[in-house]
């Protein structure tokens, strides 16, 4: 039985670092294991222009622990007034790696997102021209669409028509949660799909059975078990369409454990242990490197990280349950089973 596994250093292709005290608390947890990460731009106010991204990047670099080699890959938040030429300039300078499209109101701090997709046509055409990927939160926000159907409806009514109208646009459908998402991404060219740590492990029962579990509540919300199994199949297949994007999204506990709790799961600390357990259980531990370290860089046309990490299997790892942030805490994702794999220091 394998007790040790060495892989290229992984990357996180969907990460929330927030800002200020929260960023100072959670950034070291990502920098410890991951070489790079696509950093989400949904701050308040959002990271809309190149100048915003440059300033945010400097704050991230200033907050890194001494000696860390982590590289933040910056994104711009697409609005209906985004300037296509600002996007072009930010990409040409190497400052930004992607642009993020939030349907307005889809998730945390997405109210500045897009309602009328015709208003961003010019931005999308420039992105297709220069090969700059669009990362998309793939859900509709219509009140008449059931929350468990939002991803499938988005593919049919928004994403597929948008891609057909913009030939050459490279798209990452982030945090896919359904068999529909897996099948659509797998059938497309110039498209990738990120899968989160928690969506590989939990289904909607984990949130709702036996009482509401706010620390499992996320958007897109976890779906039926059949959809979780489809995600595990995609992540363990070696298919280059699929790669890790944790969507690690910290919120203070008082905003999670609330009458109208925030959506988000914080998983940066124990993601690699969780993934090793999931893939080993599926008999696909040999696919961990492709999913976490190789497929993402290939889509983004970057080289894999030159260095490696080693995971070893032994007694269960004792991760902290919470991390202090000022006078509050952030709760770490609990997979609900022991984690025997750890990243060696």
Distance CA(274)–CA(338), nearest Å, equals: 9
**Of 11, 52, 239, 247, which one is the catalytic site residue?**
247
Calpha distance 173→155 (Å, rounded): 9
State the alpha helices, DSSP H only, in the chain. 20-31, 50-63, 84-92, 121-130, 150-154, 160-165, 179-186, 204-208, 225-235, 253-256, 271-281, 288-289, 295-299
Is 247 a known active-site residue? yes
Match 């009514």 to its residue by tokens: 157
254 φ/ψ angles, rounded to the nearest 5 degrees: -70, -20
| CA 310 – CA 5 distance, rounded (Å) | 6
Burial of residue 58 (number of CB atoms within 10 Å: 0-12, 13-18, 19+): exposed
Enzyme catalytic residues: 247
């Amino acid at each position: 039985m394998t007790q040790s596994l060495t892989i290229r250093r992984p990357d996180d292709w969907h990460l929330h670092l927030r800002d200020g005290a929260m960023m100072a608390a959670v950034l070291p947890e990502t920098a410890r294991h991951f070489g790079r990460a696509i950093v989400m731009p949904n701050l308040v106010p959002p990271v809309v222009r190149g100048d915003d991204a440059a300033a945010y990047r400097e704050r991230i670099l200033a907050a890194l622990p001494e000696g860390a080699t982590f590289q933040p890959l910056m994104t711009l938040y697409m609005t209906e007034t985004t300037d296509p030429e600002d996007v072009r300039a930010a990409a040409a300078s190497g400052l930004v790696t992607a642009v993020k499209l939030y349907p307005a109101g889809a998730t945390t701090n997405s109210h500045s997102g897009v309602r009328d997709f015709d208003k961003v046509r010019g931005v999308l055409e420039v992105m297709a021209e220069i090969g700059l990927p669009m990362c998309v939160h793939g859900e509709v926000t219509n009140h008449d669409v059931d929350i468990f159907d939002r991803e499938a409806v988005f593919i049919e009514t928004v994403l597929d028509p948008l891609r057909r109208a913009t030939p050459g646009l490279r798209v990452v459908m982030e945090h896919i949660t359904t068999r529909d998402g897996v099948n659509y991404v797998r059938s497309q060219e110039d498209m990738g799909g990120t899968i989160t740590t928690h969506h590989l492990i939990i289904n909607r029962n984990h949130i709702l059975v036996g009482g509401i579990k706010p620390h499992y509540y996320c958007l897109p919300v976890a779906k039926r078990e059949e959809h979780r199994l489809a995600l595990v199949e995609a992540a363990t297949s070696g298919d280059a369409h699929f790669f890790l994007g944790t969507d690690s999204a910290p919120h203070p506990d008082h905003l999670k454990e609330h009458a109208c709790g925030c959506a988000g799961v914080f998983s940066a600390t124990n993601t690699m242990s969780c993934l090793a357990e999931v893939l080993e259980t599926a008999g696909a531990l040999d696919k961990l490197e492709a999913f976490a370290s190789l497929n993402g860089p290939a889509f983004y046309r970057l080289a894999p990280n030159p260095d490696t990490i080693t995971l070893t299997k032994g007694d269960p790892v004792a991760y902290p349950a919470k991390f202090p942030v000022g006078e509050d805490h952030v709760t770490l994702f609990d997979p609900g089973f022991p984690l025997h794999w750890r990243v060696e220091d």
